[in-house]
């Protein structure tokens, strides 16, 4: 019995050693401005929190808060202080982000402020505990207190981008100050950029069949607290932007103050919106809600983790901080935006050339750039965050009618045509589509040198959906019509184009001809681009229900450079327009070349010998070289690129990377960093699980990651040896290959 007890105790200790909860992230000094803010959030709400000159400030952002121009507007800025200040009379300061609980505390000598967001309701909680009786002051600051003219470069924040109409404004919000509460909201006017896009793109005949998320959209919230009293308004300026402030003060001095900000978003009338807001507020139960949210975050961290020592300690910490940021939009109706997500701050602190309001970000608010978005969501497979992928999948799924209508209206055939720069109503971004188009130009194609014929990125989201079934046995039946429609589009559209050029709709070998095509935004007017062919082949293989179409797929184009066989960008192309490397897409995301495959050398040759692949190599932004290096088992290259990719960013919070090619914080920068780090630790090929395929044996690491077949793999590497390995379900342990002990397995 004693031996049995010891065995059980040892087994329990071993399991606990894997259950790593993340360390708190702490600052010991206040911040200078909003660029030194710390993220907090939950559900679909994000906050930037910082302490400046004794005041506690935070921005609030919420997914889906789009105005008439499709700018993703912030809910406003709050400023809180106590009288006397909790920071008075001492240098003691501590701003603590408890990742494990999703709670932030800010301490001074005189007390503590606690902030947290309800994961399951759109409610923010602020609690102040002080050592002496104090009054609390809460100010709501809004720069949209009046209509604001959108300046030329400022148009980047909305769907008009560089083509803003003369006199375009961001319309003012409504703010209602009652004695003990404040209500603020934005309600869209009748005419929006949706109407402009429909008319521009010749879709008036099917207007009523399109999704219009901007119509009657209303968003905002309510500040409340039992002891609050309205004290008046004032005006000020922050980071070059003027604002109006509504000030509230607690009526009595106390040692404990509590406030809530309840948010609501709805396409409705003002009366309905207010009723729904009140209903949400009535559901608040602080203790129950706090426990439920804390439990969610606790369980979030048990899904997966990566923790390393030595030179990779900082890297794995930043991986964890970034994953926390993604977790703050776990349940948003819309996906986390690649160009800042819910955590943008005053743009002048990103680049002084942008002296605009806190609503500004480059590349739009309701616009989704698919090539960038995919990198935010791919890492969620291995991290086990399957529930967080739904918002991205639903985004595409609810736009299926629009994608199919485009094919029907423009070309008269079936199938879903999703464009690269797609709006949240399913049509191409109007500026990228082109306001100045030749009359003869095909209305289904964007009049844009970068984006013409770029329709294939949706294949990555199709594959992600299929992979959630393989990873987590997910029910994906609701998405199958979308996947089938995307495949149908490619088959029908390109056979139609071939039949218009000549007598046959397939080539001499009975294969589909992808022309005109494009390999990303880079190799334009391409014939059979490898990124598109790879995507079609991979999706069809995993989909497994259309062997005839799979048989019609051409092979990945190859060529020789200096006597070495490499993947070609396409069979032919007319020009190079950007700096992407689509010839490596068959390595990732399509996983046709790589670890455990006989053809890995072709992938490595492409990585090292293709002149454009060498010239375009970088770690910045959406660049994927860290991923490709890991997928090809190139440990040294993967290490160096990963350290550059997700080392500390330029701002105080180390996971606020960017702006890169996009904006700060750059979520596709962080997402690609996550993917690369995961691939260094775990890959799969032909039913085998390869652990540590691109990880140096002299750096200790512990991790838990997910694999297909509802499998989790926990590993501890110490001093060059795998000292712990736990695979669930246990029968999959036989599929694991330890690449530290068996390095030759990488190249099979």
- How many domains does the chain divide into? 3
pLDDT for residue 51:
98
- 265 plus 384 within the same structural domain: no
1 secondary structure, DSSP code: -
Residues 463 and 513 in one domain: no
Do 273 and 134 lie in one domain? The reply is yes
Kind and range of the H or E element at 638? helix 635-646
Note the pLDDT of residue 9.
38
In a domain, 641, yes or no: no
Write down the residue that tokens 């490898």 correspond to: 530
Instruction: Give the distance from CA 377 to its chain's centroid.
Output: 6
Residues 407 and 295 reside in one and the same domain: no
Query: Could you list the residue range(s) of the whole structural domain that residue 535 is in?
Result: 506-616
Residues 286 and 381 in one domain: no
Question: Of the candidates 616, 651, 678, which is a domain's last residue?
Answer: 616
Q: Final residue of a domain: which of 303, 318, 346?
A: 303
Please check whether residue 328 lies inside any domain of the structure. Answer: no
Neighbours of 178 (CB within 10 A): 11
- Per-residue pLDDT, 477: 98
pLDDT of residue 91: 87
| Sequence-separated contacts (24+) of 149-154 with Cβ below 8 Å | 150/69, 151/356, 153/353, 153/354, 153/356, 154/354, 154/356, 154/360
Residues 284 and 384 occupy one common structural domain: no
Measured over the CA atoms of residue 112, residue 118, residue 121 and residue 122, the dihedral's sign is positive
**φ and ψ of 75, to 5 deg:** -80, -15
The predicted-structure confidence for 492-542, as pLDDT tens digits, reads as follows 999 999 999 999 999 999 999 999 999 999 999 999 999 999 999 999 999
Predicted local confidence at residue 2, as pLDDT: 43
Tell whether 665 is covered by a domain.
no
Is 383:316 a contact under the CB 8 Å cutoff? no
Residues 127 and 238 in one domain: yes
What pLDDT, in 10s, does the model give residues 4-16?
334 433 444 344 3
**Pair 483, 543 in one domain:** no
Mark whether 220 and 283 lie in a shared domain.
Answer: yes
Residues of the chain with pLDDT under 70: 1-19
Q: Please check whether residues 136 and 272 belong to one and the same domain.
A: yes
Amino acid 579: pLDDT: 98
CA dihedral (419, 420, 425, 430) positive or negative: negative
Judgement on whether residues 287 and 432 belong to the same structural domain of the protein: no
Structural domain includes residue 113: yes
Q: Is residue 732 part of a domain?
A: no
Asked if the structure places residue 633 within a domain, the reply is no
pLDDT at residue 19 in the model: 52
693 inside domain = no
3-state percent breakdown (helix, strand, coil) of the chain, nearest 5 = 35, 25, 40
- Same-domain pairing of 241 and 285: yes
pTM for this predicted structure: 0.96
Q: Which of 600, 616, 632 is the endpoint of a domain?
A: 616
What are the tens digits of pLDDT across the range 568-609?
Answer: 999 999 999 999 999 999 999 999 999 999 999 999 999 999
Residue of 296, 246, 254, 220 lying closest to 65 (CA atoms): 220
Tokens standing for 197?
């896009």
Q: What is the pLDDT of residue 13?
A: 39
- 327 assigned to some structural domain: no
């Amino acid at each position: 019995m004693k031996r049995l007890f010891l065995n059980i105790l040892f087994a329990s200790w071993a399991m606990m050693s894997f259950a790593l909860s993340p360390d708190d992230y702490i600052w010991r000094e206040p911040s200078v401005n909003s660029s030194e803010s710390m993220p907090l959030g939950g559900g679909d709400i994000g906050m930037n929190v910082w302490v400046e000159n004794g005041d506690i400030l935070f921005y609030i952002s919420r997914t889906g808060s789009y105005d008439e121009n499709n700018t993703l507007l912030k809910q406003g800025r709050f400023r809180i202080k106590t009288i006397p200040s909790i920071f008075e009379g001492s240098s003691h300061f501590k701003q603590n982000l408890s990742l494990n609980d999703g709670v932030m505390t800010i301490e001074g000598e005189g007390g503590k402020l606690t902030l947290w967001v309800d994961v399951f309701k759109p409610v923010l909680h602020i609690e102040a505990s002080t050592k002496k009786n104090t009054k609390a002051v809460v100010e709501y600051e809004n720069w949209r207190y009046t209509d604001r003219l959108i300046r030329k470069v400022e148009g980047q924040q909305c769907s008009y981008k560089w083509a803003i109409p003369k006199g375009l404004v961001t319309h003012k919000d409504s703010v209602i100050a009652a004695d003990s509460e404040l209500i603020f909201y934005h309600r869209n006017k009748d005419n929006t950029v949706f109407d402009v896009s429909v008319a521009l793109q010749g879709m008036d005949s099917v207007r009523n069949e399109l999704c219009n998320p901007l119509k009657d959209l209303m968003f905002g919230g309510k500040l409340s607290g039992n002891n609050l009293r309205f004290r008046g308004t004032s005006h000020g300026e922050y980071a070059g932007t003027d604002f109006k402030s509504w000030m509230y003060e607690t009526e009595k001095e106390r040692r404990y103050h509590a406030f809530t900000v309840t948010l609501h978003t709805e396409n409705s009338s003002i009366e309905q919106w207010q009723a729904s807001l009140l209903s949400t507020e009535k559901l608040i139960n602080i203790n129950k809600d706090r426990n439920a949210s804390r439990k969610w975050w606790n369980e979030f961290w048990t899904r997966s983790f990566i923790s390393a020592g030595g030179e990779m300690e900082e890297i794995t910490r930043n991986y964890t901080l970034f994953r926390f940021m993604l977790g703050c939009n776990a349940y948003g109706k819309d996906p986390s935006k690649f160009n800042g997500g819910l955590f943008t701050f005053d743009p002048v602190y990103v680049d002084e050339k942008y002296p605009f309001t806190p609503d500004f970000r480059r590349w739009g608010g309701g616009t989704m750039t698919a090539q960038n978005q995919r990198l935010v969501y791919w890492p969620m497979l291995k991290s086990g965050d399957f529930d967080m992928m739904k918002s991205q999948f639903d985004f595409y799924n609810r736009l299926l009618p629009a994608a199919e209508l485009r094919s029907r209206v423009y070309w008269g055939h079936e199938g879903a045509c999703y464009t690269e720069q797609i709006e949240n109503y399913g049509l191409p971004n109007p500026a990228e589509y082109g306001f100045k188009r030749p009359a003869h130009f095909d209305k289904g194609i964007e009049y844009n040198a970068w984006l013409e014929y770029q329709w294939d990125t949706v294949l990555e989201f199709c594959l992600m959906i299929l992979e959630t079934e393989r990873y987590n046995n997910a029910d994906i039946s609701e998405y199958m019509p979308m996947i089938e429609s995307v495949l149908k589009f490619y088959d029908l559209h390109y056979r139609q184009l071939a039949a218009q050029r000549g007598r046959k709709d397939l080539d001499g070998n009975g294969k589909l001809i992808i022309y005109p095509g494009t390999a990303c935004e880079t190799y334009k007017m391409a014939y059979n681009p490898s990124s598109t062919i790879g995507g079609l082949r991979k999706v069809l293989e995993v989909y497994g229900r259309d062997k005839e179409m799979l048989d019609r797929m051409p092979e990945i184009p190859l060529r020789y450079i200096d006597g070495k066989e490499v993947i070609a960008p396409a069979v032919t192309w007319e020009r190079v327009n950007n700096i992407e490397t689509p010839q490596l897409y068959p390595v990732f995301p399509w996983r046709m070349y790589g670890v455990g495959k006989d053809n890995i050398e072709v992938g490595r040759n492409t990585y090292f010998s293709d002149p454009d692949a060498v010239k375009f190599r970088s770690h910045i932004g959406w660049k994927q070289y860290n991923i490709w290096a890991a997928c090809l088992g190139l440990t040294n290259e993967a290490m160096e690129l990963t350290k550059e990719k997700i080392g500390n960013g330029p701002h105080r919070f180390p996971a606020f990377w960017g702006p890169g090619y996009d904006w700060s914080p750059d979520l596709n920068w962080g997402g690609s960093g996550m993917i690369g780090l995961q691939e260094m630790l775990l890959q799969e090929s032909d039913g085998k699980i390869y652990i540590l395929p691109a990880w140096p044996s002299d750096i200790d690491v512990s991790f838990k990651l997910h694999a297909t077949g509802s499998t989790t793999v926990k590993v501890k590497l110490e001093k060059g040896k795998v000292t712990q390995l736990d695979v669930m379900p246990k029968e999959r342990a036989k599929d694991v290959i330890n690449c530290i002990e068996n390095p030759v397995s990488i190249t099979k």
